[in-house]
Amino acid sequence: MRTTLVNMMLSMEDKLISIKNSPNAKTFLSMHILKKVGVFSLIALFVYLSLLMLLITLQYIPLDLDAAFLATKQHVIKYQYYQIAFFAHVYSSIFILLLGSLQFIENIRNTYPLIHRSFGITYVFGIICISAPAGFVIGLHGNGGFIAQTSFCILSILWFYYTVRSFLAIKKGHITEHKNYMILSYALTLSALTLRLHKYILAHTVEMHRLDIYRLVSWSGWVINVGIAYAIIHRKKISKLNEHFMI
């Protein structure tokens, strides 16, 4: 009996070693490591760019009508409506960026649902009542002329629309729809970071006029994000269909 048990254990150990050393197992392990590295790299990039956003925001504290970007907007900053829109957008965006990121942390959603809902409500109303309308006003006067202005206005409208749809979906209990629109909404929230990232990359890799770069990134900064968001949503749908048919 003891001999049989020992032989079974040795056989199982041999099988485990065989599986571990198989090409498929090594490929799976390599993919797993690459995925972990990729996720860590994206988080590190997000944190770095968010800190840069914070530094940009701090340039306008205390309120200064000549600081940083506003040095190029002296022809319009004299209007009170633009001042209100600009500073409302700048001061609210950094909080919306942070709150939105916390909505995707599964542990918070499952363990602290009240916090998830509170952050979500703040995120939604911060966008639809402050940041998106203010962004639209700023977009009307955006640098880069009609091309960039059109892009920023469309961005603000879609940001407002996706966020409202996400809120209405969860009010009706449509969780999947809520998640999908939340992904799209946050993809546009991230445009604050990706626009600056694209601008930096292009400025250091291609010879283009500063305004031409700005016109280009005014579109790439959010269009690519939305494309990635739709790809993620589509992949989730395919995964659910596969699970359904496997069952």
Q: pLDDT digit string (tens) for 137-164?
A: 999 999 889 999 999 999 999 999 999 9
In angstroms, rounded to a whole number, what is the distance separating the alpha carbons of residues 105 and 31?
Answer: 23
Span 64-77, average pLDDT: 83
The pLDDT score that the predictor gives to residue 116 is 94
Q: Residue 71 and residue 141: Cα distance in Å, rounded? A: 14
What does the alpha-carbon distance between residue 213 and residue 222 come to, in Å, rounded to a whole number? 14
pTM assigned to the model: 0.80
